Amino acid sequence: MLRITLIACGVSFLLVLTAGCRRGQEAAHSSAPAPRDANILLITLDTTRADHLSCYSAPAPAGSRRYKGAKTPHLDSLSALGVMFSHATAQAPLTLPSHASIMTGEYPTLHRLRGMEGFVLDKSRPTLASITQANGFATGAFVGSRVLARQFGLANGFLSYDDNMGNQTEEDNLPGVFAERRAALVTDRALDWLKENRRKKFFLWAHYFDPHAPYDPPEPFKHTYAGDPYSGEIAYTDEQVGRLLAGLEQMGLASRTLVAVFGDHGESLGEHGEMTHGVFLYDSTLHVPFIVAGPGVPPGKVIHDQVRSIDVMPTLLAFLNLAPGQEVQGDNLWPLIQKGTRPRSIYSYSETLYPRIYMGWSELLAMRTGAWKLIVAPHPELYNLERDPDENQNLISKFPADAAELRKKISEVVGEQGRRQKIVAGPIDGKTLRDLESLGYVGGGARPIQLGTAAPDPKDRLDALKILGRVEDLLSSKDYARAARLMEQGLRLDPGNPRSHIYLATAYEQMGQYQRAIQVFQHALEVNVETDRMFSRLGIDYLHLNQMDKAVDAMARANRINPGDLNNLRNLGMAYVQLGRAGDAEKAFRAITAQNDRYAAAYNGLGLVAIQRGDMETARREFERAIEVNPAEVKSLLDLGILYRQMGNGEKALHYLELFTSKVPRGQFTDQLPAVREAIQELRGAARSNPATAGVYSLRLW
């Protein structure tokens, strides 16, 4: 459960928001029809601007910037078969909070998943998956990035939740870049699931992460969109969406399946000084595509009313004759789709806490109507979206009454004291918390996030933001020396920015200068700029210098702040293994499996613990469990091969060691590979000359 403490914040606004909704739901409940024998396919497009889809490329209003964008024939065809919403807006410009709003029908202030790492959706929140699954639907999810890994709470209600990214870890990527997989693999897995569940009524969710930075579309899109790789990623995603829709048709499921496509947020692409997303609340990151097609949907219709992420859940459930949770804040859009009846609410609330949490700047809150948008910031902004769709002319001083009305609407969502509330993000749900407490392994050191206090307006930190963007490009191109020099300038410009410290340390780490990276983190801690990520990275740097006790101390401190960082727990467990502290290592690995029972590296770690205890049979089971969970877990293939070799089973040792060498990614395990190849040759020779002695040679890599 996401545990958030709200200080000095009343709850009366929740009664205002939900009382009428509850009365309507109770009345409907007494005469509710049976669940519809039909299916739902929800497709979410990560980081996708509406104006980069060709079906959204109608002539823009005068003065608005135009984009070449991507050719999206499959999404175009879907929009022609159904309804396209021209003004869909997201509740947050971040993947996790936005998807939580899509799945729950609730604003971030209610579902409380208000940021990225360190926040978890409470399992008590009703979701599309939990409600459909409880009503007999098969439920499956296939996500394109570990940013939506099951431990963050969105897996609740899904009988199948595929978040397997193979051997990738976030440590292989730049800060903020999550392990991901191509859209083709998401489609492959989703189609396989459909074949198995085609005779059941189902809710299927496919999430495509490809348009997220860094932009690297496969061929032929890389060549076709050489000057615009972001659009190339969208065009490639469209191709894979087309494959999924074609599979639906070929299996005879299209006629009774409602298809909904929604973007979780957009991308700034340099507008307002931001290259990607998360910092600002302009429409470049909040205006998203929304298309619905299927039974009962009028074809070729374009709806210009403003709709929201929170409207998706009640709308899809209404199609199935299912009621949403009592606290749902979104609207059922079927009256609008079928009869043109306007939504109950014309207001859309959005927020980003990203600047506050990750950059030491002020959070931003916004309220939008079809005509106006207010952004609450240290320097507030008001825009007339009909006359100024690119949000360049701040009218806050000219229309104070309009601004006051929108500010009042924000207060209805966040509460009268909401701008100054203190939140403490608990990155684990209640049941998991109890499981960790039973292991003696729980955090409790999370620092509260104080909102509404004096902090720089992100608009006043554009120079620092641009430097961060340039450093990201330099790190991506592996120009680490230039990245370090530029980031040192950026730190002098904005010394309180946690992200700046992490980027500078990353540059030093990539150059093998671990002591300098440690000095960067130590300086950050001295000036009271500290996050769990800093401690976890500090621990890794100490590991590189073989300073094991300091590494354990740093990673343990990171865990106290954020016990939901499973990669840090894995590293902590492995450090305990190296120190021979088998009991502590076991606790760390079991703390992982309590949160994510599909985390293969944790089972591999438990296998190593069993080795230290001399329990070879348990070690074998744990290694095999790791491979069962993730067949691409090459470390387990290696360890299982070594184990069988030492147990004298040359045939199985040869099998797993050969699998290891065939699957190990380029550049990994380079120190071990020569010994592994030598052992393979010895095993082959022994098997040919004397099979009875094929296992006598000893390869020891633990």
Higher pLDDT, 487 or 26: 487
Q: Which two tokens stand for residue 666?
A: 């380029």
Q: Which two tokens stand for residue 402?
A: 């309009």
pLDDT band, very low/low/confident/very high, at 695 (cuts 50, 70, 90) = very low
DSSP string, 280-310: --SHHHHEE-EEEESTTPPTTEEEEEEEEGG
Domain range 600-702, CATH class = mainly alpha
Q: Which of 70-74, 303-307, 440-444, 620-624 has the lowest mean pLDDT?
A: 440-444
Burial of 512 (0-12, 13-18, 19+ CB in 10 A): exposed
pLDDT digit string (tens) for 61-78?
445 554 579 999 999 999
Identity (one letter) of the amino acid at 278? G
CA distance 660 to 639: 9
Q: Strand pairing partners for 669? A: none
Average pLDDT over residues 485-513: 95
Within 13 Å of residue 235, how many CA atoms lie on the same side as its CB? 22
pLDDT band, very low/low/confident/very high, at 400 (cuts 50, 70, 90) = very high
Average pLDDT over residues 288-312: 97
Residues making up the chain, counted from first to last: 702
pLDDT band, very low/low/confident/very high, at 9 (cuts 50, 70, 90) = very low
Average pLDDT over residues 663-688: 86
3-state secondary structure labels for all residues of 485-515: HHHHHHHHHCCCCHHHHHHHHHHHHHCCCHH
Residue 21: its pLDDT value, please?
46
Q: Which two tokens stand for residue 97?
A: 């909070």
Average pLDDT over residues 313-330: 95
Does residue 570 have a pLDDT over 50? yes
Identity (one letter) of the amino acid at 425? A
β strands within 169-279, DSSP E: 202-208, 257-263
pLDDT digit string (tens) for 118-134?
788 988 899 999 999 99
Higher pLDDT, 174 or 337: 337
**Could you say which DSSP state residue 124 is in?**
T
Q: Which two tokens stand for residue 226?
A: 């050489």
Peptide bond into 214 cis (omega under 30): yes
Residue 28: its pLDDT value, please?
43
Does residue 520 have a pLDDT over 50? yes
Residue 259: its pLDDT value, please?
98
> What does each C-alpha distance from 403 to 159, 388, 459 come to in angstroms?
46, 16, 19
Peptide bond into 691 cis (omega under 30): no
Give me the phi and psi of 408, to 5 degrees please. -60, -40
Kindly give, in sequence order, each residue whose CB lies less than 8 Å from that of residue 39, ignoring residues fewer than 6 positions away: 137, 201, 202, 203, 204, 253, 256, 257, 258
Identity (one letter) of the amino acid at 426? G
CA distance 316 to 102: 11
Could you say which architecture CATH assigns to the domain 12-58+84-345? Answer: 3-Layer(aba) Sandwich (3.40)
CA distance 150 to 162: 8
Q: Is 206 helix (H, G, I), strand (E, B) or coil?
A: strand
Residue 441: its pLDDT value, please?
56
Nearest to 108 by CA among 384, 455, 413, 338: 413
Does residue 438 have a pLDDT over 90? no
**Could you say which DSSP state residue 378 is in?**
S
Does residue 625 have a pLDDT over 90? yes
pLDDT band, very low/low/confident/very high, at 692 (cuts 50, 70, 90) = very low
CA distance 562 to 559: 5
Kindly give, in sequence order, each residue whose CB lies less than 8 Å from that of residue 565, ignoring residues fewer than 6 positions away: 117, 118, 427, 532, 533, 536, 558, 559
Q: Which two tokens stand for residue 3?
A: 């545990």
pLDDT band, very low/low/confident/very high, at 31 (cuts 50, 70, 90) = low
Residue 348: its pLDDT value, please?
98
CA distance 99 to 32: 28
Nearest to 582 by CA among 622, 547, 542, 554: 622
Give me the phi and psi of 413, to 5 degrees please. -85, -45
CA 686 from centroid of its chain's CA atoms = 49
Does residue 105 have a pLDDT over 80? yes
Nearest to 589 by CA among 625, 617, 545, 640: 625
CA distance 382 to 366: 10
CA geometry: angle 333, 207, 348, nearest 5 deg: 35
> What does each C-alpha distance from 506 to 544, 549, 667 come to in angstroms?
14, 22, 19
Cite the residue boundaries of each domain of the chain with CATH code 3.40.720.10: 12-58+84-345
DSSP string, 383-407: EETTT-TT-----TTT-HHHHHHHH
3-state secondary structure labels for all residues of 432-464: HHHHHHHCCCCCCCCCCEECCCCCCCHHHHHHH
Does residue 455 have a pLDDT over 60? yes
Does residue 490 have a pLDDT over 80? yes
CA distance 564 to 118: 7
Does residue 7 have a pLDDT over 50? no
Average pLDDT over residues 16-33: 47
pLDDT digit string (tens) for 216-241?
999 999 999 999 999 999 999 999 99
> What does each C-alpha distance from 390 to 99, 140, 393, 421 come to in angstroms?
25, 38, 9, 31
Residue 452: its pLDDT value, please?
82
> What does each C-alpha distance from 142 to 164, 189, 217, 254, 465 come to in angstroms?
9, 7, 20, 19, 33
Q: Which two tokens stand for residue 293?
A: 């097609």
- Specify whether the CB–CB gap between 8 and 421 falls below 8 A: yes
Higher pLDDT, 105 or 18: 105
Residue 8: its pLDDT value, please?
33
Average pLDDT over residues 594-612: 94
- Specify whether the CB–CB gap between 134 and 203 falls below 8 A: no
CA distance 571 to 573: 5
Residue 118: its pLDDT value, please?
75
CA distance 24 to 324: 11
Residue 436: its pLDDT value, please?
57
Does residue 419 have a pLDDT over 90? no
Residue 102: its pLDDT value, please?
98
Please state, as a whole number, how many other Cβ atoms lie within 10 Å of the Cβ of residue 522: 11
pLDDT band, very low/low/confident/very high, at 684 (cuts 50, 70, 90) = confident
Q: What is the C-alpha R_g of the chain?
A: 26
Residue 450: its pLDDT value, please?
80
Nearest to 85 by CA among 385, 303, 310: 303
The pLDDT mean for the chain works out to: 88
Cite the residue boundaries of each domain of the chain with CATH code 1.25.40.10: 600-702
Residue 106: its pLDDT value, please?
97
Average pLDDT over residues 285-305: 97
